[in-house]
Amino acid sequence: MKNVLVTGADGFIGSHLTEYLVENGCNVRALTQYNSFNYWGWLEDVGCLKDIEVVSGDIRDPHYCKQITKNVDVVFHLGALIAIPYSYVAPDSYVETNIRGTLNICQASMDNGVKRVIHTSTSEVYGTAQYVPIDEKHPLQPQSPYSASKIGADAMAMSFFNAFDLPLTIARPFNTYGPRQSARAVIPTIITQIANGKKQIKLGDVSPTRDFNYVLDTCRGFLELARCDQAIGEIVNIGSNFEISIGDTLEIIRELMGSDVEFLTDEQRIRPEKSEVFRLWCDNTKIYGLTGFKPSYDIRSGLQATIDWFTEPDNLKKYKADIYNV
């Protein structure tokens, strides 16, 4: 498992996973989305930049996917469009990137004899919980174009295991947070606005619950699944088995930051009624049984580490706290 490709390596989780894999002795080829600025996203900030091979391209191009999967043992496929609000206005781009991009990566991996593919899913595919905690047999509910595209991507990935014996695992992380996360997510939104001295913060519905997981735990879950032969052909949740409301999460952030900020409801930020996922709570029995994985960070320690990173001036200035990030 020495030669590894990470798609979406320029993103939040992908950049952390790249660092984590280097620390664990892997030779990493890190795919960033091509742009004319030669900008590598969050890889610009990693300490292992000299130890990785950075390539720039697009998973929507099957020929390029075939090129970058050559001489690779393991593919961690994280490349995707992820923002739920943007999927309401540009759903076709989610189909092209998430479904067709996954098809291209799986086809290229099969053609080049890749030994393991870890395909990244999301807890959003479950929709609002019909029962809790949510195990891998929970029905899938496409409550947004984003989640629909990920359901399609998961199905495409699994078809390559069933039809062609591609040694593939679907990793389904629940709500990951931590340093470098996009400000479109609620935790960075709150931290950056408090750090910039805001006295009032506009939010959508804070009653939904989530199973929040610190990013280093998610990365460790990915690596454990890649090492586990029994996980081939399986869909596996990565989560903490701990449920907390968004409102209670914000109260912890306010307490840890010593803030008296006021939270206000903004109708613009509320999802369409049938699109809101009101409850997510991970059953992590399967990953524990397969690998022994348990999260190392509880919600308070993870939030403190996140706050410490975001409140560093050099990090804080990279975020536009005065705009609503879609």
- Render pLDDT for 230-239 as a digit per residue (tens, 0 to 9): 999 999 999 9
* Whole-number pLDDT of residue 285: 98
Q: How far apart are CA 231 and CA 222, in angstroms?
A: 11
18-60: pLDDT as tens digits: 999 999 999 999 999 999 999 999 999 999 999 999 999 999 9
Q: How far apart are CA 9 and CA 41, in angstroms?
A: 8
Q: How far apart are CA 326 and CA 324, in angstroms?
A: 6
Residue 139: count of CB within 10 angstroms of its CB = 10
Q: pTM of whole model > 0.75?
A: yes
- Closest-CA residue to 176 (of 150, 215, 209): 215
* Whole-number pLDDT of residue 221: 98
* Whole-number pLDDT of residue 197: 94
Average pLDDT on 135-151 reads 97
Q: Where are the domains of the chain?
A: 3-176+212-238
* Whole-number pLDDT of residue 184: 87
Whether residue 41 contacts residue 180, with contact meaning beta carbons closer than 8 Å, is answered with no
55-87: pLDDT as tens digits: 999 999 999 999 999 999 999 999 999 999 899
- Closest-CA residue to 117 (of 62, 174, 63, 79): 79
Q: How far apart are CA 308 and CA 311, in angstroms?
A: 6
Kindly indicate whether the domain formed by 3-176+212-238 is annotated with CATH number 3.30.1050.10.
Answer: no
Average pLDDT on 209-236 reads 98
Q: Tokens representing 255?
A: 């307490």
Average pLDDT on 206-220 reads 97
pLDDT mean across residues, the chain: 96
Distance of CA 59 to the CA centre of its chain: 17
Residue 263, classed as helix, strand or coil, is strand
pLDDT band at 196 (very low <50, low <70, confident <90, very high): very high
pLDDT band at 269 (very low <50, low <70, confident <90, very high): low
Q: How far apart are CA 168 and CA 158, in angstroms?
A: 7
Comparison of pLDDT for 78 and 184, the residue scoring more: 78
Average pLDDT on 241-246 reads 97
Characterise 292 by phi-psi region: left (phi > 0), alpha (psi -120 to 50), beta (else).
Answer: left
DSSP labels, 47-81: TTGGGSEEEEE-TT-HHHHHHHTTT-SEEEE----
* Whole-number pLDDT of residue 216: 98
Q: How far apart are CA 23 and CA 143, in angstroms?
A: 38
Average pLDDT on 304-309 reads 98
Average pLDDT on 2-19 reads 98
Average pLDDT on 88-111 reads 98
Residue 117, classed as helix, strand or coil, is strand
The yes-or-no verdict on residue 315 having pLDDT over 70 is yes
What 3 state SS string does 180-199 have? CCCCCCHHHHHHHHHHCCCC
Average pLDDT on 200-227 reads 95
* Whole-number pLDDT of residue 131: 97
End-to-end CA distance of the chain: 37
Residue with token string 């939270």: 263
Whether residue 220 contacts residue 296, with contact meaning beta carbons closer than 8 Å, is answered with yes
